[in-house]
Amino acid sequence: MSEPFLHIRRGSEGFEVEGVQVGALGHKIRHPGRSEPDGVFVEWSWDGDRLRIRNDRYGFYPFYYFANSDEIAISTSIIRLLEAGASPALDEAGMAAFLRLGFFLGEDTPFLEIRALPPSGVLEWRNGELSVSGHITITRPDNLNRDAAIDGYVSLFRDAVRRRQPSSSNVAVTLSGGRDSRHILLELCEQRLRPDFCLTTRGFPAPTAYDEVEVAASLCHALGLRSRTLDQRESLMQAESDKNLRTGFCSFEHSWYLVVAHYLNRTAGLVYDGIGGDVLSAGLFLSPRRIELCEEGRLAELADDLVIIVPDRGIERALRPERASKFDREIAFARFAAEFRKHADAPNPIGSFHFWNRTRRLVAILPYGMLRGPEVFSPYLDHELFDFLTSLPARMFVDHSFHTETIQRAYPAYAHIPFTQIRSAGGAYRKQYWSFALAVARRLLETGPHQLLRDSYFLPRLLRCLIDPGYLLSATWVGSLALYLAQLESKCRRTHASP
C-alpha cells in the first residue's frame, strides 16, 4: 500500500507538483460545546500558492516533512522523503537520546532535515517561507480521592466508547492479556457493540513470554466472542529488517506487529486500539524513586534511570569513535532535559513526558502508521477522559493497580479472569536466535566496512552467539542494534552519499 506523499518544487515556470494535493487521514469526532474536534487525524491542502497542514490535539498520526525556500515534501513515510531528496545528515542530538531511550523526542527523527508534525500542529508553506506551530496539552491538577477518581474513570470511559460507535462492518479489537484492550472490549459488550472478532498475536520465540493467547481466549470464551490468533510468519531477521524501514528507523520495537498489520489491512473495517491506557492510568514507567527524582529536580539521575536500550558505555564501544563522540551522554542529556522540562508543571510529569514522546512517537506507529486499511478508534485519547486522567497526581498510579481496580469495579462479573503473567517459554527460541545472529553477521560482512557502527564490536559478539549457548540470549539486542545501524547507514548511502 503506497504512502501518502506530496512534493512541491519551484520551477522556472511555476511550481512542479507530485503527489496528492488535497488529502486527509484518520477521523474527527465532534463534541457539543467544544471548538476543537476529537479524534486522530491529519489533513493537508495545496491550492497552487499555499500548502497548509493541520492535525489533532495529540499528533498521533505519524506525519513528516522537509522544506527549504525552493521545495517542500510531506509524507507518512520518512523513507519516501529521503527518496524525494531530503538530506540524510543525522540528527545527532535526536539520535543520542533515541539510542538510550528507544524513542525519539518531540519532533526529532533520525535525520536533521526531516521533522515530525507537532501535536495541535499547523504548518504553512508559501513563497518558500515555512511556519510551523503546535503545542502539548498540560492539564491542571485535581485533588480527587482515589475512590472518586475510579468512579470518574468508569463513567468517562463509557462516554468515550459511546462517542466511538462503529459505522462499518468487520469490527476488530486487538486483544492482549492486559488491561487496556480488556477495558475496551468489556465496555463495547456492555453497550451491545460487540466486535466481529478479537485478534491476539504470538510474539517471536523468547526465553520468557506472557500467556496472552490463553488469557485472551478465556475472556473471549466468557463473552461468547470469536477470537483469532496470529503466529509469526517471517524470520526474525526479515521482520526486523522490514520493521526498520516501515518505521523510518524510529523504533527498536514493533517487528511482531507486521503480521497484525498485514492481517487487519485485509480483513478489518474498524479496529479498536488501547493506545495510551497504560501511561494514562496504569502507572507505566512510574516508581517511587523516579517520582522522588522528579520532584527534587534531579533530572540527570532520572535520565539514567530511564535508559532502557543502550547504556553510555555500550554506545562508546558500538559506534566508530568519530560517531560516538557526537552521540555522547552530555548531548543526550541536554536533549532529554530540554524536552522533560516541558512537562514539569504536569500533575504527573513522568507520565506526561512518556505520553507525548514515547506513546506519540513510538507506540502510535502501530495503529496509525502500519494500519492503512481500517479506521482506528482509540478511546483513551478521548479529550474529556484524557483531561481527567492527566489531572490526577503521579502517586495515584504508582502502585500500578488503579486501572485494575477500575475494570473490576465496572465489570465485576469478569473479575475472576486473570490478567496475563510472564512465564518460562522453554528453549524454542534458540533456533530463532541462532539464525538471527548468523544472518546479521553475514549482513555485516557483506556490507562492511562501516562508517557508523564498529564491526570489531559486533562481529565477535554475533559469532560468539553461534558457539556459546550461554551467550545466545544476547543475540536479540546485539543483532537488532547492529542491523539497525547497518540499515541506517545503507539507506543513507543509497539515497545520497553517506550519513
Residue 257 lies in a domain: yes
- Do 270 and 391 have their domain in common? yes
Within this chain, do residues 410 and 269 fall inside the same structural domain, yes or no?
A: yes
Angle CA 98–357–486, to nearest 5: 25
Q: Is residue 340 part of a domain?
A: no
The range of the structural domain enclosing residue 47 comes to 5-133
Please report whether residue 294 resides in a domain. no
pLDDT at 450 > cutoff 80: yes
What percentage of the chain carries pLDDT values higher than 70? 99
Give me the pLDDT at residue 31, please.
Answer: 81
Q: What is the pLDDT of residue 9?
A: 96
Q: Is the pLDDT assigned to residue 497 strictly greater than 60?
A: no
- The residues that bridge with 25 in the sheet, in sequence order, are 42
Q: Once rounded to an integer, what is the mean pLDDT over residues 107-134?
A: 97
- My answer on whether 214 and 361 are in the same domain is yes
396 plus 259 within the same structural domain: yes
97 domain residue, yes or no? yes
User: In the 3-class helix/strand/coil scheme, how is 161-207 assigned residue by residue?
Assistant: HHCCCCCCCCEEEECCCCHHHHHHHHHHHHCCCCCCEEEEECCCCCC
Question: Is there a domain that residue 478 lies in?
Answer: yes
pLDDT value of position 466: 97
151 plus 275 within the same structural domain: yes
Residue of 64, 62, 58 whose CA lies nearest to 39: 58
Q: Is residue 383 part of a domain?
A: yes
Residue 496 clears pLDDT 80, i.e. is over it: no
Q: Is 248 exposed, middle or buried (0-12, 13-18, 19+ CB in 10 A)?
A: buried
pLDDT, average across residues 195-223: 95
Q: What is the predicted pLDDT for the residue at 16? A: 95
Q: Give the pLDDT confidence score for residue 63 in this predicted structure.
A: 98
- Per the listing, cell 500558492 goes with 49
**pLDDT confidence band for 499 (50 / 70 / 90):** very low
Average pLDDT, the chain: 95
Rg of the chain's alpha carbons, rounded to an integer?
Answer: 23
pLDDT in tens, 3-53: 899 999 998 888 999 999 999 999 999 887 788 899 999 999 999 999 999
Please report the beta strands in 242-392, taking only residues with DSSP state E, as ranges in sequence order.
270-272, 375-377
Based on the fold, state whether residues 275 and 382 are members of the same structural domain: yes
Question: Hey, which residues does 24 pair with through a beta bridge?
Answer: 43
270 and 200, same structural domain?
A: yes
Residue 449 lies in a domain: yes
Percentage of the chain with pLDDT > 90? 91
CA distances from 206 to 104, 429, 439, 480 (A): 26, 5, 18, 14
The answer on 87 and 12 residing in a single domain is yes
- Whether residues 416 and 434 share a domain: the answer is no
Q: What is the CATH number of the domain that holds 409?
A: 3.40.50.620
> Are 410 and 440 part of one and the same domain?
no
The DSSP code sequence of 405-461 is: HHHHHH-GGGTTSPPP-EEE-TTTHHHHHHHHHHHHHHHHHHH-S-SSB-HHHHHHH
Q: Is residue 326 part of a domain?
A: no
The CA distances from residue 380 to 32, 38, 184, 276, in Å, are 19, 11, 9, 6
Is the model's pLDDT at 498 over the cut of 50? no
What's the confidence (pLDDT) of residue 197? Answer: 97
- Which of the listed residues 100, 133, 166 is the one where a domain comes to its end? 133
Retrieve residue 300's grid coordinates: 540527570
Residues 345-355 pLDDT 10s: 999 999 999 99
**Which residue, of 392, 408, 423, is where some domain finishes?**
423
* Cα 206 from chain centroid (whole Å): 22
**Residue 312: count of CB within 10 angstroms of its CB:** 19
Which residues, in sequence order, are CB contacts of 216 under 8 Å at separation 6+? 175, 176, 177, 198, 200, 227, 229
End-to-end CA gap in the chain: 28
Asked if 123 and 52 touch (Cβ cutoff 8 Å), the reply is yes
Grid cell in block for residue 473: 540470549
User: What domain count does the chain have?
Assistant: 3
User: Both 117 and 173 in a single domain?
Assistant: no
Query: Phi/psi of residue 196, each to 5°?
Result: -75, -30
Per the listing, cell 556459546 goes with 468
Please tell me whether residues 418 and 272 are part of one structural domain. yes
